[in-house]
């Protein structure tokens, strides 16, 4: 076992085994309690009349366990630090997109109390694929000393860039970096264009550090066009969420599952929170 996999294995608390036939059953409220923590991207909050602190309090009131900021929020660090302290709603990570300065993002995550940085590996389609592969891996390796120092994982996300589009691609990419403070930020909805979520989870196993949650509807995709696949509410698309839960239990995953869908006001965010409870088996 590599150092990376040994580290992830011990921190995953992989004590849950797959339950035979679970994928055929509807969600049971509370079945994933103690396994998944429910997050939301702070950028999804559309309540301009509320202060940052009141937005944090509102997210907690509607049922979220934590949130994620973006690297750009660093300029207002003190305001967000105060919101975390006074609301008791943690920032569990920082979304850095494809910005190459991972060291700054890692430091921000550590300062605000988070333990991950989401990184998108860019793909320059005008150049050979392996150039993007090697260049993005070098960006990650440059950030790893900071990740190790601050105990913040750098997690690469699967997105619609035409890059890392299969579970085997992601597996090879993570294993090539082979570092205990690097892994995958697995987006359940993003991969359905090319694969099956539960199969990705089974292949990636303890490489998965965190989850992004969005829906996909193959029926709308076929009738209305490619991006229409994302337009169904959580739980009303064609993702087999029971199979997703079963796969997560099979690999012993424990950690954050964060909504990344269209946001809105308190009513909309409360709806997202309830729908996440339904699809993720949270009480």
- The SS3 call for residue 236 is coil
User: Could you give the CA distance from residue 126 to residue 32 in angstroms, rounded to a whole number?
Assistant: 44
Q: Among 76, 7, 9, 3, which Cα is nearest to 42's?
A: 76
Identify whether the C-beta of residue 243 lies closer than 8 Å to the C-beta of residue 207: no
Mean of the per-residue pLDDT values of the chain: 91
Helices (H), 39-189: 52-61, 77-87, 102-112, 129-150, 167-177
- Helices 241-251 & 266-280 angle (0-180, nearest 10): 60
Identify whether the C-beta of residue 114 lies closer than 8 Å to the C-beta of residue 157: no
User: Could you give the CA distance from residue 256 to residue 35 in angstroms, rounded to a whole number?
Assistant: 9
For the segment 141-165, the average pLDDT, to the nearest whole number, is 96
Backbone angles phi, psi at 15, to 5 degrees: -105, -15
From the CB of residue 131, how many other CB atoms can be counted at a distance below 10 Å? 12
Q: Among 155, 205, 200, which Cα is nearest to 177's?
A: 155
User: Could you give the CA distance from residue 112 to residue 74 in angstroms, rounded to a whole number?
Assistant: 9
The pLDDT, as a whole number, for residue 17 is: 34
Binned at pLDDT 50, 70 and 90, residue 25 comes out as very low
User: Could you give the CA distance from residue 5 to residue 178 in angstroms, rounded to a whole number?
Assistant: 8
Q: What is the pTM of this model?
A: 0.90
Q: Which helix (H) or strand (E) segment is 275 a member of?
A: helix 266-280
The pLDDT, as a whole number, for residue 22 is: 33
User: Could you give the CA distance from residue 89 to residue 53 in angstroms, rounded to a whole number?
Assistant: 10
Count of CA atoms in the C-beta half-sphere (13 A) of 270: 8
The DSSP bridge partners found for residue 91 are: 67
The two three-digit tokens of residue 245, written as one number? 């839960």
20-24, 125-129, 198-202: which range is least confident on average?
20-24
The pLDDT, as a whole number, for residue 213 is: 98
Delineate the domains of the chain, giving CATH numbers in brackets: 27-280 (3.20.20.150)
Residue 1 has pLDDT above 50, yes or no: no
User: Could you give the CA distance from residue 35 to residue 83 in angstroms, rounded to a whole number?
Assistant: 26
Q: Which helix (H) or strand (E) segment is 94 a member of?
A: strand 91-95
User: Could you give the CA distance from residue 7 to residue 27 in angstroms, rounded to a whole number?
Assistant: 31
User: Could you give the CA distance from residue 252 to residue 201 in angstroms, rounded to a whole number?
Assistant: 11
User: Could you give the CA distance from residue 81 to residue 83 in angstroms, rounded to a whole number?
Assistant: 5
- Residue-wise pLDDT for 249-266, tens only, equals 999 999 999 999 999 999
């Amino acid at each position: 076992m590599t150092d990376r996999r040994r580290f992830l294995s011990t921190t995953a608390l992989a004590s849950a085994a797959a339950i035979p036939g679970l994928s055929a059953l509807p969600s049971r409220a509370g079945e994933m309690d103690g396994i998944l923590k429910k997050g939301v991207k702070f950028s999804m909050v559309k309540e301009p009349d509320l202060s940052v602190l009141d937005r944090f309090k509102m997210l907690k009131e509607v049922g979220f366990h934590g949130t994620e900021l973006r690297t750009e929020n660093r300029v207002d660090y003190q305001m967000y630090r105060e919101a975390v302290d006074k609301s008791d709603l943690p920032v569990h990570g920082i979304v850095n997109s494809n910005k190459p300065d991972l060291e700054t993002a890692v430091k921000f995550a550590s300062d605000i109390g988070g333990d991950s940085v989401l990184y998108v590996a860019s793909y320059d389609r005008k150049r050979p694929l392996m150039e993007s592969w090697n260049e993005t891996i070098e960006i990650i390796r440059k950030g790893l000393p900071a990740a190790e120092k601050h105990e913040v994982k750098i997690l690469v996300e699967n997105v619609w860039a035409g890059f890392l589009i299969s579970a085997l691609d992601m597996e090879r990419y993570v294993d090539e970096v082979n570092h205990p403070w690097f892994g995958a930020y697995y987006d359940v909805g993003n991969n359905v264009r090319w694969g099956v979520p539960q199969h990705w989870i089974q292949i990636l196993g303890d490489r998965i550090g965190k989850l992004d949650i969005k829906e996909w509807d193959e029926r709308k995709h076929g009738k209305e066009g490619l991006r229409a696949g994302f337009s169904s509410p959580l739980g009303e698309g064609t993702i087999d969420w029971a199979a997703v839960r079963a796969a997560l239990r099979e690999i012993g995953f424990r950690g954050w599952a964060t909504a990344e869908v269209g946001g809105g006001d308190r009513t909309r965010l409360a709806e997202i929170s309830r729908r996440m409870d339904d699809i993720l088996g949270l009480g």
